[in-house]
Structure 1
Amino acid sequence: MTRVVYNTATTLDGYLADPDDSLEWLFAVPGSAEAESSFPAFLEGIGALVMGSTTYEWVYNHERLDEHPEKWAYGDRLSLVLTTRDLPLVEGANIRLHSGSVREAWEQLVSAADGRDVWVVGGGDVVGQFADAGLLDEIRVSIAPVTLGAGKPLLPRRLESDRLVLESARQSGQFAELVYSVRSSS
């Protein structure tokens, strides 16, 4: 059964990116390579992914995908970008732009996932839309020993403890990795 999994890294004070949408803080954390060591196994279970336009543009620009499309890290999986704007696409990648709701995109994501999970890459508002629609199943968050004081929030929605169940916690280098299952709001 296809699940929606939000897997991301955040600062200790709950930000995904700084006020300028940069993730440079993340790459400066010692031991980040160790924390990323489980990523290939996670990606094996992903059949489709979805992200917002700010996340997509950051990856596109950071990796210089216009010049190096081979750096697209998500293979041939469907990558749905939620946006109301035209954005440049990565040559050879299976990227589609979607301007509707996550509920309208759901059947397309399930079909593309083919029994595997859908990964919400980011940002926080996109995962919030999945939570609002009752489609969010799991939150996997790696907390970095960094505080920014401001930036893009991890999940700008209210989810209380009756909906979140801690499934696991472990240390990976300088990161604390937490996995929560998300109960429906009904």
Structure 2
Amino acid sequence: MATIYYTGCSLDGFIATPDHSLDWLTSRDIDVGSDMGFETFAPRVGACAMGASTWRWIVENDAQGWKPKPTWVFTHRDFPASEQVRFTTADVPQVHAEMVEAAGDKDVWIVGGGDLVGQFHDVGLLDEVWVQFAPVTLGSGAPVLPRHVELRLEEVARNRDFLCGRYTVVR
């Protein structure tokens, strides 16, 4: 079992534009079934965590596409109730323990955003970072990980338009 941040990112280090758009990412050519693609990654996942902005994007753009895995949304905002997610303001270690239990022998996926991932890292609960780098620069937006985090490169792959890297967190 590992806690993994799996995300797409612009070459200059952003996961979303300043207005939370992902159009620059979703318009790219990618093989979701490749070695580091989403369809290969998803079966490993037993539970998910995300922040409020990520959940809001899913609700507004792809609510039907969200698969019903146990999901925790860290937020102080009000959202309509959902059978798919648990909304929480609890501390990361407490929720992580619940997520690990729900995941069983599978991994925990931190969907985003970068600050939430940083909170997992700050308490020693981030194990891997998988990034699919898109061939675009945004100039500003939501940073992929707004913390100093030491990583060790474990694997690289090309997935059509994307350069993919899998890193482990150096403790």
TM-score by length of 1: 0.86
Paired AA for residue 138 in structure 2: L
Task: Write the distance in 2 (CA, Å) between the matches of 1:73 and 1:59.
Answer: 7
Paired AA for residue 67 in structure 2: Y
Task: Write the distance in 1 (CA, Å) between the matches of 2:25 and 2:96.
Answer: 30
Task: Write the distance in 2 (CA, Å) between the matches of 1:26 and 1:89.
Answer: 28
Cα deviation digits, residues 94-138 of structure 1 (max 9, x gap): x10010221121211111011110000000001000110100000
Are residues 1:87 and 2:87 paired?
Answer: no
Paired AA for residue 116 in structure 2: V
Deviation at residue 180 of structure 1 after TM alignment: 0.3
| Aligned with residue 125 of structure 2, among 120, 124, 135 | 135
Deviation at residue 74 of structure 1 after TM alignment: 2.1
Structure number with bigger Rg:
1
Deviation at residue 89 of structure 1 after TM alignment: 3.4
Paired AA for residue 79 in structure 1: T
Are residues 1:73 and 2:66 paired?
Answer: yes
Paired AA for residue 180 in structure 1: Y
Paired AA for residue 110 in structure 2: V
Runs of 4+ displaced beyond 3 Å = none
Are residues 1:11 and 2:10 paired?
Answer: yes
Deviation at residue 84 of structure 1 after TM alignment: 1.0
Paired AA for residue 168 in structure 1: E
Percent identity reads 40
Runs (5+) with no aligned partner, structure 2: none
Are residues 1:23 and 2:9 paired?
Answer: no
Q: Call closer, same or farther: CA 1:147–1:181 in 2, change over 3 Å.
A: same
Cα deviation digits, residues 37-67 of structure 1 (max 9, x gap): 232221111000000000000010112x3xx
Q: Call closer, same or farther: CA 1:89–1:25 in 2, change over 3 Å.
A: farther
Are residues 1:51 and 2:50 paired?
Answer: yes
Are residues 1:113 and 2:103 paired?
Answer: yes
Task: Write the distance in 1 (CA, Å) between the matches of 2:96 and 2:134.
Answer: 31
Q: Which residue of 2 aligns with 1:68?
A: none
| Matched residue count | 168
Task: Write the distance in 1 (CA, Å) between the matches of 2:132 and 2:74.
Answer: 24
- Cα-Cα RMSD: 1.2
Contact preservation (8 Å) 2:7, 2:112 = yes
Q: Which residue of 2 aligns with 1:166?
A: 153
